Structure 1
Amino acid sequence: MTDQSAIQLASLSVDFDERFRLIDIDWRIEPGQHWMITGTNGSGKSALAAALAGAGDLVSGSIDGLPCKVALVSYEAQGELIEAERRKDDADIMDVISEGTPVKEILFDGCMDHDLAAQLIEQFGLTALLERAFRKLSTGESRKVLLVRALTCKPELLILDEPFDGLDAATHRMLALHLQSLVGQVPMILVLNRFDECPEFITDIAYMDKGHLLHKVRRSDEQAYNELYQLLHLKTSALELPKVDPVSSLPPLDPTQPLVQLNEVSIRYGDISIFENLSWTIERNQHWQLTGPNGSGKTGLLSLITGDHPQCYVNDIVVFGFKRGSGESIWQIKQYIGYVSTALQWEYRVGTSLRHVIISGFYDSIGLYSKYTDRQREIADEWLAVLGMSDRASEPFNKLSYGDQRLLLIARSMVKHPPLLILDEPCLGLDDMNRQLVLALIEKICAGSETSVIYVNHHPEDAVAGIDQYLALGAA
């Protein structure tokens, strides 16, 4: 690789025609590194790549160390070139219709290696197109032209945004092999949605979300890499949440009744009032975020719903159609509730397999002590696929990271598709990566099931898409 200095982005914010903004990007690209930028649609992957090529309006911060010759191939750049060709028609006078710029002119604009250009033109199947007007090419054909042009201009930094999109399998392999051959010659940054397209030569991965560069992961850091893979999998996976097992399904509830109805309830300890005269109705398919300072009564309020608080029988509470104190058993109520908390995770200290942890949700047990059905096993494996853990089904639960354990317990709580899922501070104790994994799973549950969610959380930045009902305890 030619002499290269580090590229440093410091507190960089960039506007793109007021449509999108990169926000406070801190990123250092060291010599010898090759990066993959990933994230969900609209996260800012392409914007970050474009900013490195000089696009956008600098709002604040700086970029230092960029080489003079940066080659960028992207759908945006491709569209701009095609639009420029179309504008040539608009500029024509006397009804003279321009044929447009021929492909060969586009290809050889800035070409520094004609032998390589000839080789790639043949390999990409562009020989028969050289005399054709560029604007008359298909999207895939024009993409190939821009790839060849970028690869033959001897760039000092090569940025390829979704380079494999639209390529057939043979061309994909050919391009991947050619990029591999450039590893010692030029630093590369690839924007990719799919982890399975990440070439072997990539050394580092950047994860974008809502204009922020949230994670920078060394590919050699196996745990961090796996967590990032899971995060992207949960964010982008088209998998539907597994269906309920008819044999294990719950007795039906009255669809005309709310799930929970608390009428002017109070919790008092002697002369100390935790809260008073609180009314709360949770309808089917509503998702609630419950907030409040320490001591405001969040856990007590939840325990009134679950029946674990002794004062639930002196308050006016109707849960799943059962009026508290009317002779119902606590298990009649709890069968309709999935519950996840840090306390549950502390209790769940068994060494059973990941598959068995999920299956134990059918039996509301810590560990698995019952013979399960083939369908229950299938559903557990479907949940493992949603979590990106299919290849880890037989691993022991107590050997998992803290964040992975939390994901498994949420899946365990959902196997019966309970009408109500209570997540009591599910992000407590998690690092940033695992916190986002858990939030992504909650978002998937809110979007893909008929389970109502109560999500207890202290932090506004941990808001979940799909939760649009709010109850704040201790508020003035």
Structure 2
Amino acid sequence: MQTWAILGTNGSGKSALSCLFDGDLVLSHGSSKGLPSNVMYVSLEAQAKQIEQERREDESDLLDRIDLGTPVRAFLEPISEVRHWISLLRMEHLLDQGFRSLSTGETRKVMLIRALQAKPDLLILDEPLEGLDQVSRRVVSEGLAQLKHNGQAIIWVANRLDEIPDWITHIAFMHDAKLLVQGTKEDVIASPEVIGLLHFDQALPDFPPPPKGRKVLPNHQALVEMTDVSIVYGERVLFEGLNWCIKPGEHWAIEGPNGSGKTSLLQLITGDNPQCYRNQLMVFGMRRGSGETIWDIKQYIGLVSASLQWDYRASTNVLSTVISGLYDSIGLYRATGDVDKQLALQWLDVIGLRHLANQSLQHLSYGEQRLVLIARALIKQPALLILDEPCQGLDDPSRHLVLAFLQRLAVQRMITLLYVTHQPKEIPEAFVRRLEFDGNKTLRIRGDI
């Protein structure tokens, strides 16, 4: 029996092609037939839509309380039908947690389990391993292989060639909204067209100069100092007892399983987690809770993360999105001059998306949006660049380009980088320091020299 994967470059149309199977798109011409009636779709976009729905329900709630969203248990009722998957993915302790309190990887697992619970005629998995830690990747891969063996029809949609399972027999390769090559996996992977598109051999372009008025800290000034820091949600302790100092030019890779507290830690620094005020925390020489504003903090920070991408709901074009990084805003709410526009266009040249400058950000693919947000974070060349899984949703060439950026930035030492990843092999060699979460309330620092 044939099992297909849809592979392609960012913005190629592979997700749109997969949406035809569940009737999400209306054909402008041509026809389709034999489509299954019960289709479940797991994707980064579907995950974002669910989080957006949770937020809308919270905003409509007039109660004076913090709503962490629908309990996971309510998403997965009846629990007995998916108890096996809940156990495999180590989700038992999260059943009474609100959906919005979960990490990116944890919400990903919930979406996958709910799709499996529906026992679909066809299961469409668009980048199903993105955001998952190494153990969860292995568990999901093995579980899906068993489902396939038991007769479950699956279509795998991917940017990354190295994540296509062994049990995929055929590939449809998309590029520039066209079905470029199709056939057996071996033949497609070996085709010159595919090899050419997935091979990264371009010279790394020069970075544009920093903007005038770039905020610079004294060389001796520690960027972040944490003393006995902890993150606690109710009875759930993510970690405790963290003592950590980030000095200028010291780049850190941050690793750990889903839900261990990596994103919450970063949000302490950016000011997006209110627990920054109950901890002993110095950021850019300012004690949190001493009268500083969020803008005093954000002026020194560039950020790329899944939550930022989900939060970026402003109706804006690509050029304005990049410019907004100069002003730390979501959307652009001020008149900008030619200098800002030219700088933003230079960064769009660097990431290869200048031709999309006037396109709506929301009309881009997930991977293209991620590249735009990387340019947005880099445009002001901040003192501290925080990258929470920056390669999520990127095709092979774009991923190699971003990793080359990180290596160059790290070597230049003008910007200090924090890099969260579930892919140890993708940590650039200049990142000699590690902050490791073990998922059991403790952290380990390595390479602090």
Q: So what's the TM-score if we normalise by structure 1?
A: 0.49
The superposition leaves residues 390-409 of structure 1 with CA deviations (integer Å, 9 ceiling, x where unpaired) of 33322332222211211110
Cα distance in structure 1, aligned partners of 2:314 and 2:196: 26
Please tell me whether residue 256 in structure 1 is matched to residue 220 in structure 2.
yes
Partner of 2:272: 308
AA paired with 2:205?
L
Partner of 2:208: 242
AA paired with 1:242?
P
The superposition leaves residues 245-281 of structure 1 with CA deviations (integer Å, 9 ceiling, x where unpaired) of 214x22x323211111112212234444321211111
Please tell me whether residue 289 in structure 1 is matched to residue 257 in structure 2.
no
Instruction: Identify if the C-alpha distance between structure 1 residues 238 and 457 changes in structure 2 by more than 3 Å, giving closer, same or farther.
Output: closer
Instruction: Identify if the C-alpha distance between structure 1 residues 458 and 450 changes in structure 2 by more than 3 Å, giving closer, same or farther.
Output: same
- Is 2:198–2:396's contact at 8 Å kept on the other side of the alignment? no
Please tell me whether residue 221 in structure 1 is matched to residue 161 in structure 2.
no
Written as runs of structure 1 = structure 2, the 5 A alignment for 1:58-207 is: none
Partner of 1:443: 407
Cα distance in structure 1, aligned partners of 2:177 and 2:244: 42
Q: Quick one: which of 288, 291, 310 aligns to 1:346?
A: 310
- Is 1:231–1:436's contact at 8 Å kept on the other side of the alignment? no
Partner of 2:387: 423
- Is 1:361–1:413's contact at 8 Å kept on the other side of the alignment? yes
The superposition leaves residues 170-216 of structure 1 with CA deviations (integer Å, 9 ceiling, x where unpaired) of xxxxxxxxxxxxxxxxxxxxxxxxxxxxxxxxxxxxx999xxxxxxx
Partner of 1:412: 376
SS in 2 for 1:362: coil
Partner of 1:396: 360
Partner of 2:263: 299
Q: Which has the larger radius of gyration?
A: 1
Instruction: Identify if the C-alpha distance between structure 1 residues 259 and 393 changes in structure 2 by more than 3 Å, giving closer, same or farther.
Output: same
Partner of 2:84: none
SS in 2 for 1:242: coil
In the alignment, structure 1 segments of 5+ residues that lack a partner are 1-206, 210-216
Instruction: Identify if the C-alpha distance between structure 1 residues 388 and 432 changes in structure 2 by more than 3 Å, giving closer, same or farther.
Output: closer
Partner of 1:38: none
- Tell me how large the CA RMSD over aligned residues is: 3.4
AA paired with 2:345?
D
Please tell me whether residue 382 in structure 1 is matched to residue 346 in structure 2.
yes
1 or 2 for the larger relative contact order (CA 8 Å, sep ≥6)? 2
Please tell me whether residue 277 in structure 1 is matched to residue 277 in structure 2.
no
Deviates further, 342-351 or 403-412: 342-351
Compute the displacement of 1:429 (Å): 4.2
SS in 2 for 1:256: coil
In the alignment, structure 2 segments of 5+ residues that lack a partner are 1-159, 163-170, 181-192, 445-449
Instruction: Identify if the C-alpha distance between structure 1 residues 230 and 287 changes in structure 2 by more than 3 Å, giving closer, same or farther.
Output: farther
- Is 1:265–1:316's contact at 8 Å kept on the other side of the alignment? yes
Cα distance in structure 1, aligned partners of 2:173 and 2:256: 39
Matched-pair identity in % = 44
AA paired with 2:292?
E
- How many residues align structurally? 261
Compute the displacement of 1:422 (Å): 0.8
The superposition leaves residues 207-228 of structure 1 with CA deviations (integer Å, 9 ceiling, x where unpaired) of 999xxxxxxx999833699999
AA paired with 1:346?
W
AA paired with 1:446?
A
Instruction: Identify if the C-alpha distance between structure 1 residues 352 and 269 changes in structure 2 by more than 3 Å, giving closer, same or farther.
Output: closer
Q: So what's the TM-score if we normalise by structure 2?
A: 0.52
